[in-house]
Amino acid sequence: MTRSVIFFFTVSLLLFLAAVSAIASSGNMTSGFSYGGCVSGVTVVECITAAVEDEEGVEAVLSDKEKYLMEEPESRVDLLRFNEENPEHMIKLRPFLREFLKEANKLFRMHVYTMGTYGYARYVLSVIDPGKRYFGNRVITREKSPHKKTLDRISADQRRVVIVDDNPSAWPQHKPNLLQVSQYIYFRYQMTNNNSEEDSYAEKESDECRSNGALSNVLKLLQKAHTRFQQEEDSNDLRLLIRD
């Protein structure tokens, strides 16, 4: 008999399975793609996306070498502009995202948990899961959980829950469940030192490796842990298997 497990795909809407860098005006800047989680106030999915935002328009925060992106959202499936909220966002989906969702969905019941707004989460999900095939209505946003992320908000055996997030501090009570993923940094604004001489992926017109990038490697680990969980009769705690 197949044993049920839950894959709790967390997203601060800046690193959810895509990379997003958020930029607001006059010191109210947010950038939250910390591997799987988001800083309070962030409005993007950083695990799976990267995004930039600004009340005066995203062009104001793109570097000179990145401004070519302003002309590309209509011709690319991995680059989006979100105008329904202020500030405006430009969102870049992380390489291997769609393959990741398709394969992870075969093994896990997936959830979205983000500190972003419901409007932002709804928009991103309308792009990556338009038919609600992967996440259904299993979405928790800052409106429902404004202060911290906790597994207490879902009904599940916590031994069988895996959290994929880029921000360990977002889950102080659930470290054993956390599978940390690297932050997806695509735009210069997201770089720790945005005055660095090194170009961003966007500036180089390049990107993270699909076959050996963060999502590809996380998927391999999840598949391995899931196989062991199903095959080993004494494996009742999935949290231990993602550590091996």
Question: Is residue 233, in this structure, part of any structural domain at all?
Answer: yes
Question: Is residue 185, in this structure, part of any structural domain at all?
Answer: yes
Domain count, the chain: 1
User: Can you tell me the mean pLDDT for 2-27?
Assistant: 39
Question: Is residue 1, in this structure, part of any structural domain at all?
Answer: no
Q: Is the pLDDT of residue 113 over 60?
A: yes
Q: How many angstroms separate the CA atoms of 65 and 68, rounded?
A: 7
Question: Is residue 217, in this structure, part of any structural domain at all?
Answer: yes
> Which residues have CB under 8 Å from 7's CB, separation 6+?
104, 107, 108, 109, 110, 111, 161, 162, 164, 222
Lowest mean pLDDT among 29-33, 41-45, 87-91, 93-97: 29-33
Q: At 2, which amino acid appears?
A: T
Structure tokens at 210: 């699909």
pLDDT at residue number 56: 61
**Which alpha helices (DSSP H) does the chain contain, by range?**
97-104, 118-128, 201-204, 214-231, 238-241
Give rounded-to-5 percent helix, strand, coil for the chain.
30, 20, 50
Q: Is the pLDDT of residue 95 over 90?
A: yes
Q: Which domain holds residue 232?
A: 6-241
Instruction: Beginning with the edge strand found earlier in the chain, give each strand of the sheet holding 161-165 in spatial order.
Output: 139-140, 109-113, 6-10, 161-165, 178-180
Q: How many angstroms separate the CA atoms of 129 and 185, rounded?
A: 22
Q: List pLDDT tens digits, range 27-82.
A: 222 222 222 332 222 223 456 777 766 556 677 788 999 999 999 988 998 998 87
Question: Is residue 67, in this structure, part of any structural domain at all?
Answer: yes
Query: Confidence band (pLDDT; 50, 70, 90) for 1?
Result: very low
Question: Is residue 52, in this structure, part of any structural domain at all?
Answer: yes
Question: Is residue 54, in this structure, part of any structural domain at all?
Answer: yes
Q: List pLDDT tens digits, range 151-197.
A: 888 888 888 888 888 888 888 999 998 888 888 899 998 887 777 88
Q: How many angstroms separate the CA atoms of 40 and 8, rounded?
A: 19
Q: Please name the helix (run of DSSP H) or strand (run of DSSP E) that holds residue 227, with its range, or none.
A: helix 214-231
User: Can you tell me the mean pLDDT for 110-117?
Assistant: 85
Structure tokens at 215: 């999502």
> Which residues have CB under 8 Å from 239's CB, separation 6+?
159, 161, 162, 176, 177
- Which CATH number covers residue 126? 3.40.50.1000
Structure tokens at 70: 């302003």
